[in-house]
């Protein structure tokens, strides 16, 4: 099994402040998991007893509404970590993490994480910063959901998806989402999302190649996202 000391994860996030000894301890206790597309890494309301390091693959963090609708809160990719909020706050997981494609994930038991939090102030500070940043993004999202029309939110979401996942060799946003998932991200009906995507294509702002989306005019998209 691979060793945490050499893992790409430690280039990212809070993990980069871990010492060699801490990484060795993680290595000894970690388990590697394969999550198939559509499966959950974590499930809303469940308790969790460790930290997940995403080696490879993408997932969506969702919340099920009282009306049965799924809201996508955030996207996660290789190099991200999951579960630290729940460990720190000692509360159940608040979101579902569902694989958008097959994933490789490492699980590090809670005990090891807590030990590093106790011993390594820089590590815990970085975890706090991570959560703070998420809160800051969430507040922005509340504001935009509440006050921007669907078209603006779609434009914003497309820009943000390209930001997060980058582009493939055909310059398409490098993530495969159904139209329903896009709708569940911006908070609208699937048909509305489809219609607005078609309009953006007609206006030459984006191109649609099956499920793949290519941003053609990023400036136009930025303007739309700001209501122009």
Partner DNA sequence: TCCTATTTATGACAAATATCATTTATTTTT
Partner DNA sequence: AAAAATAAATGATATTTGTCATAAATAGGA
Residues engaged in binding DNA (CB under 7 A): 149-151, 178-180, 187-192, 194-195, 197-198, 208, 210-211
Which of DNA, its own copies, none has residue 192 at its interface (CB below 5 to 8 Å by kind)? DNA
Cβ contact 54:78 at 8 Å: yes
Cβ contact 87:114 at 8 Å: yes
Look up residue 34 and give its DSSP letter.
E
Structure tokens at 8: 């790409």
Task: Tell me which residues in 80-119 interact with its own copies (CB under 8 A).
Answer: 85, 88-91, 94-95, 118
Least distance (Å) between residue 58 CB and DNA: 15
Cβ contact 27:15 at 8 Å: no
**Measuring CA to CA, which residue among 149, 152, 158, 203 is closest to residue 179?**
158
Which of its own copies, DNA, none has residue 190 at its interface (CB below 5 to 8 Å by kind)? DNA
User: What is the Cα Rg of the chain in Å?
Assistant: 19
Which of its own copies, DNA, none has residue 191 at its interface (CB below 5 to 8 Å by kind)? DNA
Least distance (Å) between residue 48 CB and its own copies: 13
Out of 1, 67, 202, 219, the only residue in the binding site for its own copies (CB under 8 A) is 67
Phi/psi-derived region of residue 159, left when phi > 0, alpha when psi is between -120 and 50, beta in every other case: alpha
C-beta closer to its own copies: residue 120 or 217: 120
Query: Per CB under 8 A, does 140 bind its own copies?
Result: yes
Out of 28, 168, 180, 226, the only residue in the binding site for its own copies (CB under 8 A) is 226
CA distance 168 to 128: 33
CA distance 35 to 53: 12
Task: Tell me which residues in 183-212 interact with its own copies (CB under 8 A).
Answer: 186-188
User: Which secondary structure element, helix H or strand E, spans residue 153, and what is its range?
Assistant: helix 150-165
Chain residues binding its own copies by CB under 8 A are 63, 65-67, 69, 71, 73, 85, 88-91, 94-95, 118, 121, 124-125, 127-129, 131-136, 138-148, 186-188, 226-227
């Amino acid at each position: 099994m691979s060793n945490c000391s050499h893992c790409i994860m430690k280039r990212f996030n809070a993990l980069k402040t871990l010492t060699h000894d801490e990484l060795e301890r993680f290595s000894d206790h970690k388990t590697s998991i394969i999550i198939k597309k559509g499966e959950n890494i974590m499930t809303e309301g469940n308790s969790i007893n460790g930290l997940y390091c995403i080696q490879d693959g993408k997932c969506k963090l969702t919340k099920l509404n009282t009306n049965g609708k799924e809201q996508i809160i955030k996207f996660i990719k290789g190099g991200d970590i999951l579960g630290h909020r729940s460990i720190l706050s000692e509360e159940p997981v608040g979101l579902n993490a569902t694989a958008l494609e097959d994933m490789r994930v490492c699980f590090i038991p809670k005990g090891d994480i807590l030990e590093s939090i106790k011993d390594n102030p820089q590590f815990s500070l970085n975890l706090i910063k991570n959560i703070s940043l998420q809160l800051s993004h969430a507040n922005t999202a509340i504001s935009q959901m509440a006050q921007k029309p669907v078209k603006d939110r779609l434009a914003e979401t497309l820009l943000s998806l390209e930001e997060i996942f980058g582009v493939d060799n055909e310059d398409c946003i490098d993530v495969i989402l159904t139209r329903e998932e896009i709708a569940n991200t911006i908070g609208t009906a699937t048909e509305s999302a489809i219609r607005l995507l078609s309009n953006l294509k007609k206006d030459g702002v984006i191109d649609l190649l099956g499920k793949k989306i290519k941003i053609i005019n990023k400036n136009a998209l930025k303007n739309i996202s700001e209501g122009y």
